[in-house]
Chain A
Amino acid sequence: DTGVSQDPRHKITKRGQNVTFRCDPISEHNRLYWYRQTLGQGPEFLTYFQNEAQLEKSRLLSDRFSAERPKGSFSTLEIQRTEQGDSAMYLCASRPGRGFSSYEQYFGPGTRLTVT
């Protein structure tokens, strides 16, 4: 499968714990996005990387959230001191820098986080 992969697919954690999610984009895609989706809503943008540089962060990304993309390949999203309001689907998407389909974002299956 050459699509975007995310790990884990599901995570249940207790309030106050830290969690880390991983996203592996399509290999030749230099742009990577994180979104969050709560029940009944469309995805909301969290942050954007071009190669290893984090170029934009949403106001939704509080100080408890941090994202990295070392070496411009996979990315991680960490949430510290989780709260029940963090329960959501976390989606990763990647996009090529140029070429025929450079406008199209390819989404992974998401990581569903439940904070108890």
Chain B
Amino acid sequence: DAKTTQPNSMESNEEEPVHLPCNHSTISGTDYIHWYRQLPSQGPEYVIHGLTSNVNNRMASLAIAEDRKSSTLILHRATLRDAAVYYCILATTGANSKLTFGKGITLSVRP
């Protein structure tokens, strides 16, 4: 599975936008970029995914570089509940499509 690189941690202020970067220079043409997050003492939860175009949903936006070698997860207004570990994962959407997690980026949100 292709590998992703994320900073270890990031801090944000409540109600401000947060940009979480991810590098994936070895991405292949069939790899989708997935983001999951894990709140303390919970299982991971899906945030968003995309292939080439930028994507928006109720939780976040995903901005994908034109060469697909990097992407950014955007939380438009961080809340205290957004404090979590965010994982950037490359995976196909095929039948198996297991997720290969790295260490993720730990987001702290200051009140």
Contact = CB atoms under 8 A, between A and B. Distances in A.
B103 interface: yes
Nearest to B103: A42
Contacts of B85: 42
Contacts of B103: 40-42
A43 B99 contact: yes
Interface string A65-99: 00000000000000000000000000101010000
Contact of B44 (A41, A43, A102): A43
A104 B98 CA distance: 11
A21 to B, nearest CB: 13
A16 to B, nearest CB: 28
Interface in B83-111: 85, 87, 93, 95-104
Interface residues of B, number: 23
Contact of A93 (B43, B49, B102): B43
Q: Is the interface of B mostly helix, strand, loop or mixed?
A: loop
B45 A107 contact: yes
Contacts of A102: 93
A50 interface: yes
Contacts of B32: 103
B5 to A, nearest CB: 13
Nearest to A91: B43
A105 B87 contact: no
B49 A50 contact: no
A95 B92 CA distance: 14
B95 A33 contact: no
A109 B39 CA distance: 10
Which 10 A-B pairs give the minimum distances between C-beta atoms? A42-B101, A107-B43, A104-B46, A45-B98, A103-B93, A43-B101, A107-B44, A91-B43, A110-B43, A108-B43
27 contacts: A42-B87, A42-B103, A43-B99, A44-B101, A45-B99, A48-B98, A50-B95, A56-B98, A91-B43, A91-B44, A93-B43, A102-B93, A103-B32, A103-B34, A103-B49, A103-B93, A104-B46, A105-B36, A105-B44, A105-B46, A105-B99, A106-B45, A107-B43, A107-B44, A109-B41, A109-B42, A110-B42
